[in-house]
Chains A and B, each alone.
Chain A
Amino acid sequence: MQKSVFTSALPWIFAAAILIVLPFIFTGGGSITIMNQIGITIVLAMSYNMLLGQGGMLSFGHAVYMGIGGFVAVHVMNIVENEYLWLPLPFLPLVGGLVGLGFATIVGSFSTRKAGTVFAMISLGIGELIAACCIIITVFFGGEEGISGDRTMAPPTFGIEFISQKEVYFLIAFWVLLSIFVMYLFTQTPVGKMANAVRDNPERAEFVGYSQRWVRYVSFCGAGFFAGVAGALFAINYEILTEQNLNTVMSFQVLLATYIGGVGFFLGPVFGAILFTILQTVIGLQTDLWALYTGIVFVLMVMFLPTGLTGLFAMHLIPLQLGRLGMLIKPYAKIFVPGLAFVVGAIALIELINHVRHHAEEQFMTLFWIEFDTTSFLPWALFLIMVAVGFYVSRAFAKEVAEAWGEATFVEGERR
């Protein structure tokens, strides 16, 4: 099936158009800042998916490659500022990427020998090691306060000095698109295809004549490169890097964003990164419990929806093709109301308990734009009823949903 150059280029042109238009649609105060953060997370999550989704390697220290790329990028930024080196800012991500690549070639040379637990443990060990080194090697990592630079001191590119957030946005958007494009091309190469084969069945891949270790090594180095790119973008956007950018918590966040989006799909991490960053920035402003919520959502997702959000969408392609999507609307609508009641009630209860335990001196609290008295009996009873009834009713409706799903995806003569 030969596609013309134009049809295969169409999605990319479309994506570029969206990226250009976005800052003119969302002009509100913090929206550019959030979009920059999303862009950085997208590159990082996509590079992580090269390991986990496409290569089957579970890394607990992916933030290290981003961090090291970022730290070197800040140092380079300072060198450029002191005019020892001439380098326009848009090329800085390339430097970060090469540093990430270099570090990945060293680590990968011994860590990719095995996938699975050994790989995961080495990545955890390296992650802890580098994070601990941050405090010790102050010349490079700057100790606890990290190191900072100034992006505007680089030689101007076509007169742009990257002073405003918007200018930085276009730089990040360009690199996001370029990175995704190159990563997409990588999946189309023989080694990219073999990465999937090695993930699914390393023994058979060996029989076909490929060294599983070598295939993993190439994916690992590629992932290191793009993590470094993300690090340099981070350095450009925030102009500071600290130990927090490469510790285990950060690595966990990368895993979280990627997994929520869906590891089995090429573009899954993009959705994951968007959702995760919005949750982090928007919900993080509303409540100091956001990490608890994301953690719970994450664990539930691993348990009940291992294919992630994109997997959820992809699941619905089958009833769509069979023209039976309409059969699902009614049961979905039915479960939505009690489900929502349960979630809202549970969140309210959690927040209420948190308020009483840690901010008991304030009698009134505001939740979902409503102010109420925490000492009165009414809110407690209301939220408890919402949780209990919501849980009970949605469990009863869940059976209906499952039945409707079975009918909607049933194909005559096919074994399910």
Chain B
Amino acid sequence: MDLFIINVIDGLIYGLLLFMLSSGLTLIFSMMGVLNLSHAAFYMLGAYLAYQISVYTGFWVGLIVAPILVTILGAAVERYGLRRVHQYGHVPELIFTFGLFFVIEELVQYIWGRSMVNYNSPESLDFIAFNLAGGSIPAYKVFMLLVSVGIFLALYYVLARTRVGMIIQAALSYPKTVEALGHNVPLVFMGVFGVGTGLAGLAGVIAGPSLTTFPGMAFLLGSIVFVCVVVGGLGSLFGAFVASLLIGWLQTFAASYNIGAADILIAFGYEYPKDVYYHPWRDLWTLTLPQIGPILPYILLILVLVFRPNGLFGKRET
């Protein structure tokens, strides 16, 4: 039971982190129809920029400045890259963002080297927030949770309650009409792309200290974010939220419960082989839940795409 509560909290933090990425991704997709495959690269960029800034000024300045830099960079990518590629069609757009992912990844290695950098949480948050069921929750995790929830509420408020949000929502479904009403739709596109990547950058800034900042961090999270967005339904913000939490918990629980296939097989009356390392089914016998944890999201993705191509909450055909 203790482990269960700890896992619920850890999964929640991870899921909300995923949501910070997937919300921007799904907004960009629903607006421009293009799945930004370089999204996780901006997440990594956020972490590295914050690290570089924190070296000089400390964590808190990096927390503010790095996401802004990433936002500007993202907007520039939309303005000078994606807008040009857009005329060739959707497939070149996907290829462009895919290529951009690798360029950013290589650039990060070029600038900061191939090994991890020493990006730490601020000292003011280096204490244990509270003890819970035998385990302890560090204050930084609480901080991550608060930032994620804050971003979620702010996003909801902007989209649902403000004029800008209304224009964005309208531009999602009827870009031509919105343009005819005199709104600058390309500017809205640029803004949404910038803010979306900026959110990814912010996620990187706060995830960097706890998940370590290294060149593989984008690759590690990148595909999982697509899984969240696709499983939730492309273009559905609520779907992205549900899917992010689902996958956050799925991965956290899978990683911490050491259930092996051997236990199940023995329960079904099979006998454990004597020399398991030379047994033809040795992989099945030694299989454990933490081992298959990383591939569970992909199985979920394929199942969802096969049986419900619109995703769990998606409304439109892709």
Contacts and interface: CB of A to CB of B under 8 A. Distances in A.
Contacts of A121: 35, 226, 230, 301, 305
B209 interface: no
Given A136-B291, A138-B283, A291-B106, A299 B96 contact: yes
B295 A133 contact: yes
B165 interface: no
Interface in B96-121: 96, 98-100, 102-103, 106-107, 109-111, 113
Contacts of B96: 299, 302-303
Interface in B281-309: 282-283, 287, 291-292, 294-295, 298-299, 301-302, 305-306, 309
Contacts of B187: none
Contacts of A122: 301-302, 305-306
B163 interface: no
Contact of B223 (A52, A124, A136, A299): A124
A306 B98 contact: no
Interface stretch (B5-13, B17-25, B85-93, B131-139): B85-93
A113 B302 contact: no
Interface string A390-408: 0000000000000000000
- Of B96, B102, B110, B282, the most chain A CB neighbours within 10 A belong to B102
B84 interface: yes
Contacts of B103: 292, 295-296, 298-299
Nearest to A251: B98
Interface in B264-293: 280, 282-283, 287, 291-292
B260 interface: no
A357 B226 CA distance: 34
B298 A132 contact: yes
- Of A124, A292, A298, the most chain B CB neighbours within 10 A belong to A124
B237 interface: no
Given A302-B92, A354-B110, A132 B98 contact: no
A129 B295 contact: yes
Contacts of A128: 223, 295, 298
A58 B283 CA distance: 33
B81 interface: yes
B153 interface: no
A56 B98 CA distance: 17
* Chain B at the A interface: SS class: helix
- Of B81, B95, B234, B306, the most chain A CB neighbours within 10 A belong to B95
A302 B99 contact: yes
Nearest to A117: B318
Contacts of A291: 102, 106
A137 B294 CA distance: 14
Interface residues of A, number: 45
A58 B89 CA distance: 12
A58 B88 CA distance: 14
A302 B95 contact: yes
Contacts of A113: 309
* Chain A at the B interface: SS class: helix
B247 interface: no
B91 A52 contact: yes
A410 interface: no
B125 to A, nearest CB: 31
Nearest to B106: A292
A255 B94 CA distance: 12
A117 B90 contact: yes
Interface residues of B, number: 44
Contacts of A118: 305, 309, 318
Given A125-B305, A137-B283, A114 B99 contact: no
Interface string B226-248: 11001000100000000000000
A110 interface: yes
B35 A255 contact: no
Contact of B91 (A116, A136, A137): A116
Contacts of A116: 90-91, 318
Contacts of A354: 110
A289 interface: yes
A129 B299 contact: yes
B46 to A, nearest CB: 20
Contacts of A255: 95, 98
Nearest to B224: A128
Nearest to B299: A129
Interface string B72-87: 0000000001001100
Interface string A281-311: 0000000010110011011001110100000
Given A124-B223, A139-B280, A302-B96, A357 B91 contact: no
A64 B283 CA distance: 21
B299 A120 contact: no
A136 B305 CA distance: 24
Contacts of B305: 110-111, 118, 121-122, 125
Contacts of A60: 98
A295 B96 CA distance: 10
B146 to A, nearest CB: 32
A24 to B, nearest CB: 38
Contact of B301 (A52, A117, A125): A125
Nearest to B104: A295
Nearest to A122: B305
Contacts of B292: 136
Contacts of B35: 117, 120-121
B226 A303 contact: no
- Of A52, A118, A128, the most chain B CB neighbours within 10 A belong to A128
B298 A136 contact: no
A299 B299 CA distance: 31
A252 interface: yes
A358 interface: yes
B302 A132 contact: no
A342 interface: no
Contacts of A226: none
Interface in A350-403: 350, 354, 357-358
A350 B102 CA distance: 17
A120 B94 contact: yes
The 10 closest A-B pairs by CB, nearest first: A292-B106, A295-B103, A129-B298, A125-B301, A132-B295, A299-B99, A110-B306, A295-B102, A302-B96, A298-B99
11 contacts: A113-B309, A128-B298, A129-B298, A136-B292, A289-B106, A291-B102, A291-B106, A295-B106, A304-B84, A306-B85, A354-B110
Given A122-B301, A255-B95, 14 more contacts: A110-B302, A110-B306, A113-B309, A117-B90, A118-B318, A125-B223, A136-B292, A138-B283, A291-B106, A295-B102, A295-B103, A298-B103, A299-B103, A354-B110
